Chain A
Amino acid sequence: MQALDAIVQNYNYAITVFLMVSGLYIVIASGNMIKKIVGLSLFQTSVYLLYISAGKILGGTAPIIDRNYTIYSNPLPHVLILTAIVVGIATVALGLAIVARIHEEYGTIEEDEIFKETGL
């Protein structure tokens, strides 16, 4: 029972770490630049999960004031992550624009082909 409790307590943190590590792995291991950007956005999204998990109170409700409820989850992480989501799409869009530009210049979005072409 105690082991089950420990799993339930730490499940959010474990999944956050798994998503973050997977994003990091895709960014390093994949040679395709579009897949790299998807990996980057996985990495960013795992941070949202970490923050929102910290703000959750079990048995609480969304932080919209109503006289029928007394326990609310923490609104501050929500605000920070709203900002982070918008900055995340900005970085993804800029990264993809650079990928499109690289494709125009080299005719490929594979890292290995560009390295072969430029002799690096």
Chain B
Amino acid sequence: MELYINMALLTMLAAVTVAIIVQRDLFSVVILSGIYSFLMASVLIVLDAVDVAMTEASVGAGISTVVLIGTLYLTGQKRELNYHRSIAVPLFVSLGTGAMLIWGTWGLPAFGIQDAPVHTHIAPTFLLESIPETGVPNVVTTVLADYRSFDTFGETTVIFTAGLGVMLLLGGSRRKKKKGETKS
């Protein structure tokens, strides 16, 4: 049953992607990408990744949509302009990449089986040791904050750097504009 729910949601995801490709109205593109993120969050719940689904729904569908709408407001552009661009090169590059990726998936183990190499390496250790070693029942929290906490520390550094970059890019330009106004 979960297999068929998963397939139905993935088909809807592909349909939304096609809509994003053909849509030229920028506001619609932004809202469609929000719908895409919510569908992705639903797929993640079906695939048992509840923590990831929660993050994707709040960050992907929430913050990312807000940031995109903010940029639409700042730039004030409503539609993608229709230039006569050649689609031959992008089509060739993406279809070539797609063919190579499909070729790569041939070697992957079947979906959802229990004895795939991913499930036999370190995951059983995490699942068995989580309660005795840390007392936290949610294993994702244990791995994130205990076993791989340096990884999470690096992630916060990335966020800090990105925030710094956004502030410098947007704050710096506003200062420049003020200077220009006093000159004129």
Residues of A at the B interface (CB closer than 8 Å) are 8-15, 17-22, 24-26, 28-32, 34-35, 37-39, 41-42, 45, 48-49, 52-58, 60-66, 71-79, 81-83, 85-94, 96-101, 103-104, 108-110, 112-113
Contact = CB atoms under 8 A, between A and B. Distances in A.
24 contacts: A11-B10, A12-B111, A17-B101, A20-B98, A26-B21, A28-B93, A30-B80, A31-B80, A31-B85, A32-B26, A34-B71, A37-B68, A54-B108, A57-B114, A63-B140, A90-B163, A92-B64, A97-B170, A99-B71, A99-B75, A104-B173, A104-B177, A109-B77, A112-B83
Interface of B: 2-3, 6-7, 10-11, 13-14, 17-18, 20-21, 26, 29-30, 33, 36-37, 40, 43-44, 47-52, 55-56, 59-60, 63-64, 67-68, 70-72, 74-75, 77, 80-81, 83, 85, 87, 89-91, 93-95, 97-98, 101-102, 105, 108, 110-114, 116, 118-119, 122-123, 126-127, 130-131, 137-140, 142-144, 148, 151-152, 155, 158-159, 161-163, 165-166, 169-170, 173, 177
Nearest to A5: B110
B52 A48 contact: yes
